[in-house]
């Protein structure tokens, strides 16, 4: 049971990064279906940078620097993808769905290519990421549950809390939300809609990218076993599940993590039946989607202009 919870948290943080980034993006009115690609590119940029760094320093790597290099490279790579998305949808006024899907195709391609170059094993780097707090072992199950995790797990929670704070408690957050809800009103209030969309999408993508890195370096212990695009789609689903709130996403992501791995921990289910269990996160998301649309409660709806372009002269 303990191992199950720890695992659920580790995997959950992948979703947490992914959906926190996507929430930020969606709050600006951008539905970025390129998130799977963004996460792939983020992860592979991080891994590639780590590979170069470790190769250059030989055996004398600094753990802090090792983590920093990967995190910065991930964020930068993913944010560049966000920039590409914003350029096409804001400046070139392309359709968001189509652009997002193309971004996913491109992202998966780029990341597969980079991984093919850098190899799929980052066990050494992973050690830095999974190193737990020194006193975790002394605290028994409590320590294992709360302090045994790698640095990315804590970073994910901090990022989600910060985003939650920024969105609900700051002027910038208020302005950003108004851009996603009603860009014409925001524009009239003197808010630069395009700039907010660009910045939110780039930062959001950067954060989503960290989810990819967490998956490889923490959850898979540095073995790039399979493509992570499915986690990108699930992160988008989690955004709906947590009704666009990063703080709720912390809990939601752990639930998603638990649902995703439930199949391997449940006994008495046939080998094949486990595959059915893996459907759970998706089915839960569909049900949440249906319920929110049926209840039609204003509070829990997507940002009103989500997916819609805004050009002042075409009002």
Region 140-179 residues binding another protein, contact defined as CB under 8 A: 169-171, 174-175, 177-178
- Helix, strand, coil distribution of the chain in percent, nearest 5: 75, 0, 20
Sign for the pseudo-dihedral over CA of 238, 145, 73, 53: negative
C-alpha closest to that of 149 among 11, 24, 34, 40: 11
Q: Compute the least distance from the CB of residue 275 to another protein, in Å.
A: 4
Q: Out of 33, 151, 160, 210, name the contact with another protein by CB under 8 A.
A: 33
- Please report, as residue ranges, which positions from 285 to 304 form the binding site for another protein (by CB under 8 A): 285-286, 289-290, 293-294, 296, 298-299, 301-302, 304
Residue placing its CB nearer to another protein in the complex, 132 or 300: 300
The answer to whether 7 and 35 are in contact (CB under 8 A) is no
Positions 188 through 227 that interact with another protein (CB under 8 A): 188-191
Q: Which is nearer to another protein, 17 or 196 (CB)?
A: 196
User: How is 96-145 classified by DSSP, letter by letter?
Assistant: HHHHHHHHHHHHHHHHHHHHHHH-SB-HHHHHHHHPPPTTGGGGHHHHHH
Pick from 6, 161, 230, 243: which binds another protein (CB under 8 A)? 230
- Interface with another protein: number of residues (CB under 8 A): 74
Among 9, 186, 203, 238, binds another protein (CB under 8 A): 186
Q: Which two tokens stand for residue 230?
A: 């499915």
* Euclidean distance between the first and the last CA atom of the chain, given in angstroms as a whole number: 55
Stretch that binds another protein, among 47-55, 58-66, 85-93, 246-254 (CB under 8 A): 85-93
CA distance 56 to 72: 17
Q: Which is nearer to another protein, 104 or 214 (CB)?
A: 104
Cβ proximity to another protein: between 13 and 179 the closer is 179
Which residue of 63, 93, 142, 264 would you call a contact of another protein, by CB under 8 A? 93
Contact 247, 241 (CB under 8 A): no
């Amino acid at each position: 049971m303990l191992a199950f919870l720890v695992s659920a948290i580790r995997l959950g943080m992948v979703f947490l990064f992914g959906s926190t980034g996507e929430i930020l993006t969606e709050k600006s009115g951008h539905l970025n279906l390129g998130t799977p690609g963004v996460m792939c590119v983020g992860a592979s940029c991080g891994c590639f940078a780590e590979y170069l760094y470790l190769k250059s320093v030989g055996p004398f790597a600094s753990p802090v620097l090792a983590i920093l290099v990967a995190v910065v490279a991930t964020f930068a790579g993913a944010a560049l993808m966000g920039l590409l998305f914003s350029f096409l949808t804001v400046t070139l006024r392309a359709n968001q769905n189509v652009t997002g899907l193309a971004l996913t195709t491109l992202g998966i391609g780029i990341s597969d290519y980079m991984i093919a170059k850098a190899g799929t094993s980052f066990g050494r780097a992973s050690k830095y990421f999974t190193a737990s707090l020194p006193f975790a072992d002394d605290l028994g199950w409590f320590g294992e549950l709360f302090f045994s995790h790698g640095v990315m797990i804590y970073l994910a929670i901090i990022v989600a809390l910060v985003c939650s704070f920024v969105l609900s408690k700051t002027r910038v957050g208020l302005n950003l939300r108004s851009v996603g809800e009603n860009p014409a009103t925001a524009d009239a209030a003197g808010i630069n809609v395009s700039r907010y969309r660009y910045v939110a999408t780039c930062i959001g993508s950067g954060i989503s990218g960290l989810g990819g890195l967490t998956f490889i370096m923490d959850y898979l212990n540095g073995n790039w076993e399979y493509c992570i695009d499915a986690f990108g789609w699930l992160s988008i689903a989690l955004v709906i599940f947590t009704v666009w709130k990063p703080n709720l996403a912390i809990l939601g992501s752990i639930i998603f993590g638990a649902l995703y791995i439930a199949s391997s921990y449940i006994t008495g289910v046939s080998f094949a039946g486990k595959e059915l269990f893996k459907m759970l996160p998706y089915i839960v998301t569909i049900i949440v989607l249906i319920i929110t649309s049926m209840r039609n409660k204003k509070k829990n709806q997507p940002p009103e202009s989500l997916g819609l372009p805004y050009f002042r002269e075409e009002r």
